[in-house]
Amino acid sequence: MSDPREPMNAQVKQLFDLMRAARPAQRVLEAQAMRAETAAFSVLLNANAPAVEREEELRIPGPKGRPLRVRVFQPPGTGAKRPALVYLHGGGWMILSPETHAKLAKELCIAAGVVVVSVDYRLAPEHPYPDGLDDCVAAFRWVRENAARVGGDSRRIFLGGDSAGGNLTAATTMRLLGSGEEPPTANLMICPVTDLDLALNSESARRFGPGDLVLDDAMMRFFCESYAPRASWSNPFISPLRGDLSKFPPTCVVVGTIDMLHDDGVAFAQRLLSAGREATLLTYPSMPHDFMLFPGLDAGAKSVEEMAGFLRAHLE
């Protein structure tokens, strides 16, 4: 839902018209129904995805030896080992997959010249917190320890994700730091959830949550309550905005100004700066939640280039 004080971007309006036409008349807030609905959008999300040098699917060891599926995207060219980006897809910790995010993964792979390892972590409500986070931590550790297996450089491992994946990016970083491990080389947090209470009660949630076509307030509440009991939302591994950010790596936070999670992202960038850490905030006017996933948006293409520029700037 756009704000009357902010003109609707013409490309976003066209996108919203397509989404209205494709969406069921009544949205059902139930995991399987939502997964079926969003799976139907995969074709739209991956329209005109670029071709990478190679892609493969691997099964790597997850928590307690459980197999964990990842998709690996290799950039064009040969030679020296490349930096790697461990990518955590969004979807409210409940829906979506590496497949729905393949276009964005490929775009970042090519634009930044990095190997992208996209993680198929376990989803709520079947697997609430901390199962998905455990998978993300295990995946990052595996990539760092086995970087050569995917053509990556173990000294240059980035971590990133969108929406709930941005939340998991921050929480994974906190887990690594808490265990005395080196953090990622840099983090990429795209339209992130950083505090579950703030996500539902911020000014941007009030302005843009009701009736939004990408992420509305009812969906967000359902996602949050399915991921973790409300009484646990103050846990910094669930709401990383409340955690210790004093040792965080350089972090790029991306926000759209008509996204209900806008204030979550801005607050996290501000907290990093207040803690004396490096934070880059990329703001895109009149853009909704996760706008870079959708084809045909000029701002989406620009955001990929700017995110890739951030990653390239932190290769050394």
Known catalytic residue at 290: no
Q: Among this protein's residues, is 154 annotated catalytic? A: no
259 is catalytic: yes
| C-alpha to C-alpha distances, 112 to 31, 280, 306, nearest whole angstrom | 34, 17, 10
First to last CA, the chain: 41
Neighbouring residues of 233: CB distance < 8 A, sequence distance ≥ 6: 195, 196, 197, 224, 239
The single-letter code of the amino acid at 101 is H
Residue in 89, 101, 262, 289 annotated catalytic: 289
Placement of tokens 């808490």 in the chain:
178
The CA distance from 305 to 310, in Å, is 9
Question: Among 195, 216, 259, 264, which one carries the catalytic annotation?
Answer: 259
For helices 102-112 and 298-313, the axis angle rounded to 10 degrees is 50
Dihedral sign from CA coordinates of 71, 43, 311, 91: negative
Residue whose C-alpha is closest to residue 240's, from 218, 277, 268, 203: 268
Which of 163, 202, 286, 303 is the catalytic position?
A: 163
User: Which residues are known to be catalytic?
Assistant: 163, 259, 289
